[in-house]
Amino acid sequence: MKYLIISFFSTFILMFTHSLDAQRTSGKKITAQKETEKGTKSDFFLESKSQFGFDETVAKFTAIAEQKTWKISATHDLQQTMKTHGKEVLPVKVFAICHPKHSSKILEKDDERIISSMMPCRVSIYMKSDGKTYISRMNSIAMAQNFDGVIREVMTESALEVEEMIRELVIEK
C-alpha cells in the first residue's frame, strides 16, 4: 500500500510539474488560480462507467488483459486493505499492468529509466455509492505530450492499448 501511494504521488507531481513547465515556457503568465484550473483531476485521470457489475468487470478486465498478452503484476484490493484497518469502503481493485514490449523500451535505456516510477500502468475498478462500477486510469495519452522520443512513443502506444481493452467494458457515450 505504501508503494502504491508513493507511486501515485510521484506520478501526480511529475504530471503537474510538466504541465506547469509547459505553460511557463510558452510565455503565459501563471497565477495561482490558473495553476489550480490547469491541475484538475480531469486533466490527469480518465473515468468510464462499466456496463457490468464490479465482479464481472474485474473478471472481464483480467481476461482481456491476459488475452492481449499484458501482464498483471499485482492486484491491490483496497477495500480489503481498508478493512484490516477498521475502515469500510466500497469495492476498489487497482491493477498494476505492463507489457514487456513497451516497458523494455524504457527500462533498457538509462536516460528513460527516470519514468519507471510511473510503471507499471495502473487501472482501477471501483464501485461508487450509486451502485455503478467505474474504471479509472491516468490520462497517459495527454501526459505523453510532455515528453519526446521513446518515452512519448511508449506512453502513447501503451495508453492506446489500455484504452482498447477498457473500451470493451464501458458504456459508450
pLDDT tens track for 117-128: 888 899 999 999
What strands, in cross-sheet order, belong to the sheet with 71-77? 45-49, 133-138, 121-127, 92-98, 71-77
Question: Quick one: pLDDT at residue 87?
Answer: 98
Residue 141 has pLDDT above 70, yes or no: yes
Could you read off the pLDDT of 53-69 as tens digits, one per residue? Answer: 999 999 999 999 999 99
**Residues 119, 106: contact at Cβ < 8 Å?**
yes
For the cut 80, the answer to whether the pLDDT of residue 151 exceeds it is yes
Interval 96-121: pLDDT, tens? 999 999 999 989 989 888 889 888 89
169 φ, ψ (degrees, to nearest 5): -110, -20
Q: What CA–CA distance (Å, rounded) separates 53 from 132?
A: 7
Report how far residue 154's alpha carbon sits from residue 161's, in angstroms, rounded to the nearest whole number: 11
pTM: 0.76
Q: Classify the C-alpha dihedral 86-89-92-94 as positive or negative.
A: negative
**pLDDT on residue 118:** 87
Give the H or E element holding residue 65: helix 54-67
Q: What is the pLDDT of residue 40?
A: 57
Q: Are 128 and 90 in contact (CB under 8 A)?
A: yes
Sequence spans of domains, the chain: 40-167
Q: What is the pLDDT at residue 59?
A: 98
Q: What percent of the chain has pLDDT over 70?
A: 75
Q: Which CATH class is domain 40-167?
A: alpha beta
H/E stretch holding 82 reads helix 78-83
CA 18 centroid distance within chain: 17
Give me the mean pLDDT over the 156-164 stretch: 95
pLDDT at site 43: 80
Residue 81 has pLDDT above 70, yes or no: yes
Reference 53, options 148, 145, 128; nearest CA is 128
Which residue type sits at 47? E
Q: How high does pLDDT run on average in the chain?
A: 81
Please, are residues 58 and 83 in contact by the beta-carbon 8 Å criterion?
A: no
